[in-house]
């Protein structure tokens, strides 16, 4: 009699994660996540950062977007015992915190460097790890970002990381101000550290 072997798939298995993203994210967000992974991994190889950690952080960075809106993200965070400063009200900021909880609970990621990179991928912050900087950069200038400057930054990223990061943060600051969005003080700290 054939015995069916029970194969327990690791929750950090890349195929498992990609399948989850496909099932739980909107198509454009799913495709963005794969492009961020591809770009972040190229940067990790170039700048000698763990490809494994980079793969996990980049694939999981937008899992918080699986929640439909800011109210659902707020509820999810409260259910998981997460309190946050009052200014953290926008969906774009809440989803990075929700992503940390999902990475921990659904995918059993406990590595603080990975979780920290996910937590700060939207705003950045001073003293970010190299993994965090790579994720921030890849998220903001991946090939799906069609502004002409992003095309230039994707080229300079491979040989002048710091100047490219500074230009990426400046681009984000300009966008936040031009569109009347909440400017996180962490982004200002991040920029000041780079100039």
Residues forming contacts to Fe ion in the complex (CB under 5 A) are 62, 139
Long-range contacts of 19-22 (CB under 8 A, 24+ apart): 20/63, 20/106, 20/107, 21/59, 21/63
CB of 95 to Fe ion, least distance (A): 6
Q: Which helix (H) or strand (E) holds 156?
A: helix 148-156
- Find out whether 186 and 126 touch, Cβ atoms under 8 Å: yes
Nearer of residues 116 and 139 to Fe ion, judged by Cβ: 139
CB of 8 to Fe ion, least distance (A): 30
CB of 98 to Fe ion, least distance (A): 10
Q: Which single residue is written with the structure tokens 């809440």?
A: 94
CB of 80 to Fe ion, least distance (A): 18
User: What is the C-alpha separation between 58 and 43, in angstroms, rounded?
Assistant: 12
CB of 33 to Fe ion, least distance (A): 7
* Torsion over CA: 179, 184, 189, 194 (sign): negative
Nearer of residues 49 and 141 to Fe ion, judged by Cβ: 141
Helix (H, G, I), strand (E, B) or coil at 80: coil
Nearer of residues 62 and 116 to Fe ion, judged by Cβ: 62
Nearer of residues 10 and 69 to Fe ion, judged by Cβ: 69
Q: How many residues does this entry show for the chain?
A: 195
Nearer of residues 12 and 122 to Fe ion, judged by Cβ: 122
């Amino acid at each position: 009699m054939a015995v069916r072997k029970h194969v327990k798939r690791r929750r950090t298995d890349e195929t498992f994660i990609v399948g989850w993203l496909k099932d739980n994210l909107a198509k454009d967000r799913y495709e963005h996540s794969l492009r961020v992974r591809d770009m972040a991994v190229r940067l990790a190889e170039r700048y000698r950062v763990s490809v494994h950690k980079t793969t996990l952080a980049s694939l999981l960075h937008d899992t918080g977007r699986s929640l439909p809106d800011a109210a659902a993200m707020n509820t999810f965070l409260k259910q998981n015992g997460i309190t946050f400063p009052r200014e953290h009200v926008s969906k774009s900021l809440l989803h990075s915190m929700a992503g940390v909880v999902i990475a921990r609970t659904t995918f059993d990621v406990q590595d603080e460097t990975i979780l920290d990179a996910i937590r700060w991928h939207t705003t950045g912050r001073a003293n970010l790890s190299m993994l965090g900087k790579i994720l921030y950069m890849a998220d903001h200038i991946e090939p799906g970002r069609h502004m002409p400057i992003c095309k230039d930054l994707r080229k300079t990223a491979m040989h002048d990381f710091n100047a490219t990061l500074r230009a990426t943060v400046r681009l984000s600051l300009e966008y936040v101000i031009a569109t009347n969005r909440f400017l996180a003080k962490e982004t200002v700290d991040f920029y000041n550290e780079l100039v």
